[in-house]
Amino acid sequence: MAPALLLLAQDLRKNLGGRAVLDGVSLSVDRGQAVAIMGPSGAGKTTLLRCLNGLERVDGGQVQIGEHVIGPSAREGDLALGAVRRQIGFLFQQWHLFAHLTVLGNVMEAPVHVAGRPRAQAEDRARALLDRVGIGHRAGARPAELSGGEQQRAALARALAMEPAVLLLDEPTSALDRARADDLLDLLTELRAGGLALVAVTHDPRVAARLNAQVHTLDHGRLSPAGHAS
């Protein structure tokens, strides 16, 4: 059986503009666990997510997932950094879909060009993911032809295409109406039940409650457990 502990961040430190945005942040995430990061605007919640999968380099501390560890010395091209990014997916708040590619092309991009999977295999996987998130019929559309909810689902399918063990979510419901937010949270709950770990930055207590998440508050560079959402 796979060990429960999946992601471990220890003593993360990050300075931006002379301010300690992360001042000794530690966080552990188990397989299939949901964690919600809350706190005031500008507290560094998104920066924490970006440090967890190496999009931003920390000034101190380390992130470990499985046997792979990254810290202040991580550089683009490092094997450990690439391994961490493959195992920690990211659903960005602005989605960042490639405008020149179809929805199917967006979902296939990383498996083909990063993981080196055969195109036919990547396409089969991409179509299955698009069906799962409910937009299989939009596979041939460009991002500009999609609604906001459809773009977010396309971005979610793209994040899942590399089969991550952990999915980071930056304000996942902020651009959605209540019904579409509920649909997304239902889908995320299903993914969690399948073993995917979730770390979500959110201002909405309902998101934490729907995901049955362990809540942490980030403020003044420090991360503090705030109990279980209910």
pLDDT at 38: 95
pTM of the model: 0.91
- Give per-residue burial for 55-87: e unless 16+ CB within 10 Å, then b: bbbbbebbbbbeebebbeebeeeeebbbbbbbb
Q: Give the separation between CA 160 and CA 15, rounded to whole angstroms.
A: 31
No. of H helices and E strands in the chain?
Answer: 7, 10
pLDDT at 1: 44
pLDDT at 230: 59
Sequence ranges of the domains in the chain: 5-96+165-228
pLDDT at 96: 85
pLDDT at 180: 84
Among candidates 229, 227, 216, 226, which has minimal Cα distance to 12?
216
Q: Give the separation between CA 71 and CA 225, rounded to whole angstroms.
A: 23
Per-residue pLDDT in tens (0 to 9) along the chain, 230 residues:
455 678 999 999 999 988 999 999 999 999 999 999 999 998 999 999 999 999 999 999 999 998 999 999 988 889 999 999 999 999 988 878 999 999 999 999 999 998 899 999 999 999 999 999 999 999 999 999 998 889 989 999 999 999 999 999 999 888 788 888 888 899 999 999 999 999 999 999 999 999 999 999 999 999 998 766 65
Among candidates 125, 83, 85, which has minimal Cα distance to 107?
125
The residues with which 108 forms a beta bridge, in sequence order, are: none
Topology of domain 5-96+165-228, per CATH? Answer: Rossmann fold (3.40.50)
Query: In which residue are the tokens 């708040």 written?
Result: 93
